[in-house]
Amino acid sequence: MNSSVRGHSTREFPPEAVAVRAARAFVTESALCDGVDAEALALAVSELATNVILHANTPFIVTVERLSDGVRVGITDDNPTEPRIRDIGSATITGRGLAIVRSLSRYLHVEATGPGKTVWFELGWARP
């Protein structure tokens, strides 16, 4: 990860189901994300915001950073428990969120931040 940051925007959301849609809209409608695959971006943000609501149950901050070659998005919450990609069976209906984000992004990282953590992912420019 050696892309330079070209601008950023942040917004806080409550730990409520309606916040998933609001976080998704905040990111996908940001001018900082122009040129990125909007569907992949929306799905990744939805998965991470849903994880916060289901597992952390704290308010969360979404940070969008425009890079020279794509976009970086971080979801910060106040729960210190790090998410992990689980080995799950095909009959399990939950537990796939982080694996989905990893498959969509070129970079996925969890960083301890004070009382909680930030989950970062990056997407490059969409190909025509």
| Element at 92 (helix H, strand E) | none
Partner residues linked to 77 by β-bridges: 117
When divided into structural domains, the chain yields a total of 1
The predicted-structure confidence for 81-102, as pLDDT tens digits, reads as follows 888 766 665 555 555 678 889 9
Give the tokens for residue 54: 């289901």
The predicted-structure confidence for 17-66, as pLDDT tens digits, reads as follows 999 999 999 999 998 999 999 999 999 999 999 999 999 999 999 999 99
Show the domain range for 110.
5-124
Which residues, including other chains, have CB under 8 Å from residue 128's CB and lie 6 or more apart? none
Model-wide pTM > 0.95: no
Please check the confidence at residue 5 and state whether its pLDDT lies above 70: no
Q: Provide the pLDDT for residue 86.
A: 63
What CATH number should be reported for the domain holding residue 85? 3.30.565.10
